[in-house]
Amino acid sequence: MLTATTVLSLSAGVDAGLGVMVMTRGRIRFTQLRISDNPLLPPLPELYIGIYVREGADTQPLLELADDLAPLLRPKPDDVVVKNTEYQVLNKAFGKARSLGT
């Protein structure tokens, strides 16, 4: 068993053959890992993600950040190639989050 503090470290361990880990299919796109539908492993439950923005007068920047992130969280077919624009959108969203102090 490998315990690490970052997904990058865990991914490196899996890539080295030290084990398996659960990741969403969309997140695997950003790694060198491969999808395994091993019938010996138990099936995983469905995963649901939501973006919730607090109410208030100063929430416009948060709403814009949520709008930027939402398309990145939506499931994509396995055969869709990650486009460079997805990385750019992700970097832009993280830049906005940093500027908001989150």
Least confident of 7-11, 39-43, 92-96: 92-96
Q: How many residues does the chain have?
A: 102
Instruction: Identify the pLDDT of residue 45.
Output: 87
DSSP string, 53-79: ---STT-HHHHHHHHHHHHHHS---TT
> pTM of this prediction?
0.46
Dist. CA 26–CA 49, nearest whole Å: 13
Spans of all domains in the chain: 1-46, 60-100
Q: Which pLDDT band holds residue 83 (cuts at 50, 70, 90)?
A: low
Instruction: Identify the pLDDT of residue 97.
Output: 74
82-88 contacts at long range (C-beta below 8 A, 24 or more positions apart) = 82/29, 82/30
Interacting residues of 86 by C-beta distance below 8 A, sequence separation 6+: 72
| Average pLDDT of the chain, as a whole number | 78
> What are the tens digits of pLDDT across the range 20-69?
888 877 777 777 788 877 778 888 888 788 888 888 878 888 888 888 88
